[in-house]
Homo-oligomer: A and B are copies of this chain.
Amino acid sequence: MKAHKESRLLREPTVAAAGVRLLSDALRAQGIAVIDASWEPPPEGAAPSLSRVAADLRRLEANERAVQAMIESKPEVVGVTTAGDALGLEPRQFLHSGPPLTWEEASGPLRGALVGALLLEGEAESPADAWEICERDRIELFPCHSRGAVGPMAGVISASMPVYEIRDEVNNHVTYSNLNEGLGKVLRMGSYSNEVIKRLRWMKTNLAPILDDAFKRHGPFDVRALLAQSLQMGDEGHNRNRAGSALFLREMAAHIAQCDYTNSEIAQVFQFIDGNEHFVLNMVMPTAKAAADASRDIPGSTMVVAMARNGTEFGIQVSGAGDQWFTGPANTPSGVLFPGFSDVDINPDIGDSTIMETYGIGGFAMACAPAIVRFVGGSADLAHQKTRQMYEITLAENPYLQIPSMDFRGTPTGIDVAKVVSTRILPAINTGMAGKEAGTGQVGAGLVQPPMSCFEQALVAVAKSGFEK
């Protein structure tokens, strides 16, 4: 110990500098080691807002209320219904992921998914026919979030599609998502080939009624408990749902087996779930949305309650600013591509699945899933670094969702736009990557960042709102 102490005194000093480079450059010129911290002053527009909200003690209380509401939400799957019944959709009305946009603004995978949905609804005879209907402005588009729903990737939900009904008894609130189709050539990635439509039809006629029946036998299915388990089993809940999907099947198998269908029809359901490591994604997403919705509309709160992308823009919503979207151009993810694809094939960021990061898991809980780095690219250490960084932009640690390798520390929960703007640390997001061209399907998986401007705009809006009721 003594030797160690002495040697520290004898070491040359290292200077850590933040802000303008004038000081640190001067030191470097004198041969002194300097580490520059990544801090930058907030941009001109956001700076006054940042000082204003930072100085307002009411924000602390508002954010505490917001994050506690998110943490204490306890969503459960109660059954499977249809989007027409539950969300009031007509045959030519479609939900999509992310903030609002028009057909003209839509990227390839969203256009492909809309073409497929028109075919599924029997509103078009062929892909060309469907395309023309869209071009002639004969469809209506709404964000999933505007109807209490979320959808991965293109997020297209049409009237006859089955949807999970998720109920949060704590807040007497209901959310929805469609059913996951599996990997590769699937509607949510923009594919609309015959196999895609055929699979979606089977999901309506067989999978949905069997699951609904099984949920009714089982009783409400506690999704937060499932997530808590799966985070201890190598999942991060967004891009890796292998444990969650297996645990779901384990718990539901006896109830599925008792449905009044033939052995072979039941076996098909098991085979379908076995073949899809992301099966529970469409249950955990509306769970995260239900939790985030519990934090909405708290005056003065700078906490993020939605992050979502439509393939063109990235948008966020903030508790203290109602349903307003704050958007910026969607970045293009980078990661590991499937064989046969290159960087030019990747569509800009798309999907409501960033609701998982909004809830404090996914990219925020990468430390749970060292194996994910082999899927999205990067090292096991990167996974821990990302998670550690996310504690700097969040308000709390979720005691129900823990990270075993960090000694069961709670996941970093409740993104504060004020913290994002002041630290310049952006939320870490794991994501699937869709092909740019309509009809391509999935091309890989990777990491992506939201544009900083969304957070700056949101901060300005909350500051302006001045905590009025």
Q: Which residues of A contact B (CB under 8 A)?
A: 2-4, 6-8, 10-12, 14, 33, 232-234, 242-243, 245-247, 249-251, 253-255, 257-260, 263-264, 266-268, 270-271, 273-274, 370-371, 379-381, 404-405, 407-408
A405 contacts which chain B residues (CB < 8 A)?
A: 370, 380, 405
A249 contacts which chain B residues (CB < 8 A)?
A: 246, 249-250, 253
| Minimum CB distance partner of A406 in chain B | B380
A250 contacts which chain B residues (CB < 8 A)?
A: 245-246, 249-250, 273-274
A243 contacts which chain B residues (CB < 8 A)?
A: 233-234, 243, 246
- A191: min CB distance to chain B, Å: 25
Q: Is the CB of B257 within 8 A of A263?
A: yes
Q: Take A10-B10, A249-B246 as given contacts and tell me if A254 and B270 are in contact as well, using a CB distance cutoff of 8 Å.
A: yes
- A250: min CB distance to chain B, Å: 5
Interface of A is mostly: helix
Bound-complex Cα distance A245 to B242 (A): 13
Q: Is the CB of B242 within 8 A of A254?
A: no
Q: Given contacts A253-B273, A258-B264, could you give 10 more A-B pairs where the C-beta distance is less than 8 Å?
A: A2-B33, A7-B11, A232-B234, A234-B243, A254-B267, A254-B271, A257-B263, A257-B267, A259-B263, A380-B407
A4 contacts which chain B residues (CB < 8 A)?
A: 11
Q: Take A268-B254, A274-B250 as given contacts and tell me if A3 and B7 are in contact as well, using a CB distance cutoff of 8 Å.
A: no
A245 contacts which chain B residues (CB < 8 A)?
A: 250
Q: How many copies does the complex hold?
A: 2
Bound-complex Cα distance A2 to B407 (A): 35
Bound-complex Cα distance A407 to B247 (A): 26
A381 contacts which chain B residues (CB < 8 A)?
A: 407
A270 contacts which chain B residues (CB < 8 A)?
A: 253-254, 257
Per a CB cutoff under 8 Å, which of B2, B264, B404 touches A234? B404
Bound-complex Cα distance A7 to B246 (A): 53
Bound-complex Cα distance A232 to B267 (A): 27
| Minimum CB distance partner of A14 in chain B | B3
Bound-complex Cα distance A10 to B254 (A): 68
- A232: min CB distance to chain B, Å: 5
Q: Is the CB of A10 within 8 A of B6?
A: yes
Per a CB cutoff under 8 Å, which of B251, B379, B408 touches A274? B251
Between A and B, 14 residue pairs with Cβ closer than 8 Å are: A232-B371, A233-B243, A243-B243, A243-B246, A245-B250, A246-B247, A249-B250, A249-B253, A253-B253, A253-B267, A253-B274, A260-B263, A371-B404, A380-B407
Bound-complex Cα distance A148 to B23 (A): 74
A233 contacts which chain B residues (CB < 8 A)?
A: 233-234, 242-243
A408 contacts which chain B residues (CB < 8 A)?
A: 370, 380
Bound-complex Cα distance A245 to B270 (A): 16
| Minimum CB distance partner of A264 in chain B | B258
A246 contacts which chain B residues (CB < 8 A)?
A: 243, 246-247, 249-250
Bound-complex Cα distance A62 to B14 (A): 54
Bound-complex Cα distance A243 to B230 (A): 9
A273 contacts which chain B residues (CB < 8 A)?
A: 250, 253
Q: Is the CB of A3 within 8 A of B274?
A: no
Q: Is the CB of A257 within 8 A of B251?
A: no
Give the most central of A234, A380, A408: most B CB within 10 Å. Answer: A234
Per a CB cutoff under 8 Å, which of B12, B258, B404 touches A267? B258
- A17: min CB distance to chain B, Å: 17
Q: Is the CB of B6 within 8 A of A2?
A: no
| Minimum CB distance partner of A229 in chain B | B242
A274 contacts which chain B residues (CB < 8 A)?
A: 250-251, 253-254
A14 contacts which chain B residues (CB < 8 A)?
A: 3
Bound-complex Cα distance A232 to B381 (A): 16
- 7 nearest interchain CB pairs? A3-B12, A253-B270, A370-B404, A254-B270, A246-B246, A254-B271, A257-B267
